[in-house]
């Protein structure tokens, strides 16, 4: 039986949304010294602190301790989910809440710290315009018409190498423009007078292949006389036919069939080969085997090869260097990936039912353009969908048990804004580019099969928001000690800060708590706003 929806009045709903967004501007509170006694953080105390700030804008509440988690304690978090009492003076308390959050500053890592050519340590000076990069005029017009007015850092550096015919291994975080980088590199090399495939792009999923093909078509538009075809499941060439398109974008299995089973195109005529989401393509055995077989069928001495991804681990990087001759390297250390414009929160809950209630409360309170909710299984994806659909939200679902047509329609509706919320498993963690996404929810935290933190999947998931410098929210649900340790691991790995949100699952009360975690020490400012 679904829980009754929490009641929010207009002012309280607006205040909750503003509170989460306001954290972008504040000064990080000084952590409480580890030797200091943990103060009581009863509702009475933090209400008094907020009231004091309402009466004296110069005053800040004393830092409050976060709940201790004992070693070996596997119990769920005990959130204080008892109903609160009505109080007077809500407007002043809400104003004080906003003032406090405006003092909080989120620390972040500089996004542009690229390691370029580690072996030679050569200095590259990024170009700031397409003209400086010598992007041909028709391609530049297509880029500007598509909304890409100037190159990003990764585009500037990668194109400098691609235009020189260099092989490339490029790693940069989601939302920095990797796809545009290799699309421009491809378009500059295509001879439109030769009506056969000259470029091949491999993608790990049907959705990404469709999306990359769409990006190419948008840039080409009427400006460039280049065509593209998708080699994905369900696209079978007619017997004896040959493609006249210049670019093939597809998944490894289908591309391999086109080259070997159907003899549809000649891999030796491919001039530029792109392996996108290369960490997945190489790390997953089936993709790796198929990709390598395709690569070996090419004229490697005359084929430019480039690998692009948001993350690489050392094993993948070592393998990539073995199959690519003399590659140029552009990398960002995983722990230095920038999260500066993504404001990360976590919510403590007791169980999955609490997650569902909290998700309903959050989505009902925060104004977002588009949002994605990630979960671990298709069963949970359908459960979340069924729970939230009751509230009348325009939403879609993307899970592994859906057929290709349904998955394509779900992404199309989400991209067009017909659905504002997408519930999905990891199938869309990578590369689904919808610029208006400004909230990502990790209903289940990403973990590997051995239950260790999955850093790569985390950055790919939250990288769906905060794209190209836009602001975004990432909200993570935490229900036990393992989840909490995972959050701490993400924080330490990415040198970032998470804020804690307390949601009291009653009809009348929401608590917000600003938790700063740093090097195993924490300080907690508890803030509170009441709803009627």
Q: What is the DSSP string of 202-244?
A: E-SSHHHHHHHHHHHHHHHTTTS---EEEE-TT--PPTT----
Distance CA 466, CA 473 (A): 8
CB 173 within 8 A of CB 325: no
Question: Among 512, 527, 506, 516, which residue's Cα sits nearest to residue 86?
Answer: 506
Q: What's the token pair of residue 316? A: 């993948």
- 161-167 long-range contacts, CB within 8 A, separation 24+: 161/328, 161/330, 162/188, 162/304, 162/306, 163/133, 163/134, 163/188, 165/304, 166/304, 166/327, 166/328, 167/304, 167/305, 167/306, 167/324, 167/325, 167/326, 167/327, 167/328
Tell me what percent of the residues of the chain surpass a pLDDT of 90: 26
Structural domains present in the chain: 10-108+339-530 (3.40.50.300), 115-336 (3.40.50.300)
Full DSSP string of 359-373: HHHHHHHS--SEEEE
- Residue 250: what pLDDT? 96
Residue 428's pLDDT is 56
Which pLDDT does position 73 carry in this prediction?
A: 33
Does residue 192 sit in helix, strand or coil? coil
pLDDT means over runs of 10, the chain (532 residues): 37 43 37 33 40 37 28 31 31 37 28 39 58 91 79 84 93 75 95 96 90 90 88 86 94 95 95 90 83 93 90 76 84 57 83 89 75 92 92 86 79 86 74 71 88 80 71 87 89 77 45 31 31 28
Average pLDDT of the chain to the nearest whole number: 70
- The phi, psi pair for 188, rounded to 5°, reads -70, -25
Please report where in the chains the tokens 């397409």 appear, as a residue. Answer: 130
Q: Are 522 and 515 in contact (CB under 8 A)?
A: yes
Which pLDDT score is estimated for 124?
Answer: 46
Question: Which 3 state secondary structure label does DSSP give 116?
Answer: strand
Determine what percent of the chain falls in helix, strand and coil, rounding each to the nearest 5: 40, 20, 45
Residues 158/191, Cβ–Cβ less than 8 Å: no
Question: What's the pLDDT at 82?
Answer: 26
Report the distance separating Cα 231 and Cα 206, nearest Å.
9
pLDDT score for 433? 61
3-state secondary structure of 2: coil
pLDDT for 213? 94
At 343 the pLDDT is 82
Residues 6+ apart with CB under 8 A from 14: none
Q: How many whole angstroms separate alpha carbon 305 and alpha carbon 518?
A: 41
User: What pLDDT was estimated at residue 314?
Assistant: 78
Long-range contacts of the stretch 445-453 (C-beta < 8 A, 24+) = 445/476, 445/477, 445/478, 445/483, 445/486, 445/487, 446/374, 447/486, 451/482, 453/486, 453/489, 453/490, 453/493
Closest-CA residue to 155 (of 183, 190, 113): 183
Which residue is it, tokens 């989120």? Answer: 106
* Residue 86 and residue 7 in contact, taking contact as beta carbons nearer than 8 Å: no
Q: Are 115 and 329 in contact (CB under 8 A)?
A: yes
β-pairing, 328-331 vs 115-116, is: antiparallel
Tens-digit pLDDT profile for residues 230-275: 999 888 888 888 999 999 999 999 999 999 999 999 999 999 999 9
Could you write out the DSSP letters of every residue in 61-90?
A: PPPBPPPP--TT--PPP----SPPPP-S-H
Helix (H) or strand (E) holding 57: none
What's the rounded Cα separation, in Å, for the pair 182 and 386? 39
pLDDT value, residue 441? 94
User: Between 352-365 and 10-22, two packed helices, what is the crossing angle to 10 degrees?
Assistant: 100
What does the alpha-carbon distance between residue 64 and residue 59 come to, in Å, rounded to a whole number? 15
Structure tokens of 358?
Answer: 């909290």
d(CA 330, CA 200): 21
Q: Tokens 């790995």 identify what position?
A: 493
């Amino acid at each position: 039986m679904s829980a009754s929806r929490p009641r929010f009045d207009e002012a309280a709903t607006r205040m909750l949304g503003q509170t989460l967004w306001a954290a972008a501007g504040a000064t990080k509170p000084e952590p409480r010294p580890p030797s200091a006694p943990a103060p009581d953080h009863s509702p009475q105390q933090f209400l008094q602190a907020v009231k004091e700030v309402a009466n004296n804008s110069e005053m800040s509440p004393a830092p409050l301790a976060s709940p201790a988690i004992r070693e070996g304690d596997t119990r769920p978090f005990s959130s204080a989910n008892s109903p609160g009492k009505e109080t007077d003076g809500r407007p002043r308390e809400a104003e004080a809440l906003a003032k406090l959050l405006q003092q909080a500053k989120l620390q972040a890592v500089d996004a542009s710290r690229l390691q370029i050519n580690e072996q030679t340590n050569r200095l590259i000076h990024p170009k700031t315009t397409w003209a400086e990069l010598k992007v041909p005029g028709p391609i530049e017009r297509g880029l500007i018409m598509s909304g890409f007015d100037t190159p990003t850092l990764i585009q500037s550096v990668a194109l400098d190498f691609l235009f020189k015919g260099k092989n490339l291994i490029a790693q940069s975080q989601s939302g920095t423009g990797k796809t545009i980088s290799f699309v421009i590199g491809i378009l500059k090399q295509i001879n439109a007078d030769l009506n056969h495939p000259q470029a091949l792009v491999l993608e790990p999923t049907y959705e990404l292949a469709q999306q990359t093909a769409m990006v190419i078509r948008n840039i080409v538009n009427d400006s460039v006389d280049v065509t593209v075809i998708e080699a994905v499941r369900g696209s079978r060439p007619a017997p004896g036919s040959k493609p006249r398109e210049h670019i093939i974008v597809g998944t490894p299995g289908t591309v391999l069939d086109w080259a070997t089973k159907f003899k549809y195109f000649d891999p030796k005529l491919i001039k530029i080969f792109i392996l996108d989401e290369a960490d997945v393509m190489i790390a997953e055995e089936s993709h790796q085997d198929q990709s390598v077989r395709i690569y070996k069928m090419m004229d490697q001495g005359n084929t430019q090869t480039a690998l692009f991804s948001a993350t690489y681990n050392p094993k993948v990087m070592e393998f990539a260097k073995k199959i690519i001759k003399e590659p140029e390297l552009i990398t960002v250390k995983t722990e230095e990936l920038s999260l500066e414009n993504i404001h990360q929160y976590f919510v403590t809950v007791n169980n999955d039912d609490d997650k569902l209630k909290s998700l309903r409360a959050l989505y009902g309170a925060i104004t977002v353009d588009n949002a994605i909710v990630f979960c671990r299984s298709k069963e949970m994806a359908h459960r979340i969908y069924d729970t939230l659909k009751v509230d009348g939200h325009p939403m879609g679902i993307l899970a592994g048990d859906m057929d290709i047509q349904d998955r394509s329609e779900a992404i199309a509706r989400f991209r067009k804004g017909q659905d504002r919320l997408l519930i999905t498993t990891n199938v869309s963690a990578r590369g689904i580019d919808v610029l208006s996404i400004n909230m990502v929810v990790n209903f289940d935290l990403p973990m590997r099969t051995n239950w260790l933190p999955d850093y790569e999947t985390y950055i790919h998931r939250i990288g769906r928001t905060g794209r190209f410098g836009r602001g975004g929210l990432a909200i993570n649900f935490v229900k036990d000690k393992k989840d909490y340790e995972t959050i701490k691991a993400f924080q330490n790995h990415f040198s970032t800060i998470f804020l804690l949100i307390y949601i009291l699952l009653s009809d009348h009360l929401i608590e917000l708590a600003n938790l700063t975690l740093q090097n195993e020490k924490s300080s907690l400012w508890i803030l509170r706003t009441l709803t009627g």
